Structure 1
């Protein structure tokens, strides 16, 4: 068996009046992530981790933010397409571990639903998907609620 590890990172600006989708969950908040797709920072970081592990470049290479077909698309679809890309190279996902960094809203109540959304999208158990959240202790652009960041690592195997 061959295994590889991937790392993903994503950041999105937060703007008043925008929807805030994280892990496929619509969060109630006065600000939301701004981007070409639904700007789901968590799923974008996971996609980058998976693509990187399989040596398939990054999310921007496959789903360009200048391509109208991806405008406003659910990042759940981007994740599903990413899984197809790595599967075409013979890889399957072992596990995913992700971290969100934002001041508000509180993420912990939504983590089980995020895990279920991701598990359903990629066909694996919620037991293999870890999501954590932290704040930036009111420092920097995250602390001022100007942006949201996500990190992810994954293990893939062949």
Structure 2
């Protein structure tokens, strides 16, 4: 059995709005994400981690923001596509650990649903998906609620 590890990161600016997607879950709030797709930082970081584990490039190579096909794209669709690439390479996701960094909106109440959706999209048990949320304690663009970010680590195995 062959194991690989990948890590990913994503960050998007925030603006005024009526909600945003994080971890495949729409969260109604006074913010929106500036992005070509739906701007789901957690799923974008996860896609990059999966791609990185197998040296398959990055999310920008597979879904360029210069391509109108991806305008407003649902990041869950992107994740399922990336998972298909992983499976086509002879691997399956092992486990996922995601940390979302956002001063606001508060994410704790949404984490169980995020975990369930990510597990469903990857075809793995929810016990293999960890999602955590933290703030930046008022520091920098994230702490000043001008951005949010996510870090992801994933294992894949044959």
TM-score by length of 2: 0.98
State the alpha-carbon separation in 2 of the partners of residues 31 and 19 from structure 1: 5
Report the equivalent of 2:88. Answer: 88
Matched, 1:129 2:129: yes
Kindly indicate whether the alpha-carbon contact (under 8 Å) linking 1:10 and 1:149 is maintained by their aligned counterparts in 2.
Answer: yes
> 1:18 Cα shift?
5.4
Q: Secondary structure at the match of 1:103?
A: coil
> 1:105 Cα shift?
1.3
Report the equivalent of 2:153. Answer: 153
Q: Secondary structure at the match of 1:56?
A: coil
- Unaligned runs of 5+ residues in structure 2 are none
State the alpha-carbon separation in 2 of the partners of residues 93 and 130 from structure 1: 13
Report the equivalent of 1:114. Answer: 114
> 1:19 Cα shift?
3.3
- Unaligned runs of 5+ residues in structure 1 are none
Q: Runs of 4+ in structure 1 displaced over 4 angstroms? A: none
Q: Note the alpha carbon deviations across 1:3-55, whole angstroms, 9 max, x for none.
A: 01000000000011153100111112111111000000000000000000011
Kindly indicate whether the alpha-carbon contact (under 8 Å) linking 2:37 and 2:73 is maintained by their aligned counterparts in 1.
Answer: yes
Kindly indicate whether the alpha-carbon contact (under 8 Å) linking 1:18 and 1:34 is maintained by their aligned counterparts in 2.
Answer: no
State the alpha-carbon separation in 2 of the partners of residues 157 and 111 from structure 1: 25
State the alpha-carbon separation in 2 of the partners of residues 146 and 58 from structure 1: 25
State the alpha-carbon separation in 1 of the partners of residues 100 and 109 from structure 2: 13
Q: Secondary structure at the match of 2:151?
A: strand
Aligned residues: 158
Matched, 1:23 2:23: yes
Report the equivalent of 1:139. Answer: 139
Report the equivalent of 2:60. Answer: 60
Kindly indicate whether the alpha-carbon contact (under 8 Å) linking 2:41 and 2:150 is maintained by their aligned counterparts in 1.
Answer: yes
State the alpha-carbon separation in 1 of the partners of residues 19 and 101 from structure 2: 18
State the alpha-carbon separation in 2 of the partners of residues 28 and 19 from structure 1: 4
Matched, 1:6 2:9: no
Report the equivalent of 1:41. Answer: 41
State the alpha-carbon separation in 2 of the partners of residues 14 and 59 from structure 1: 20
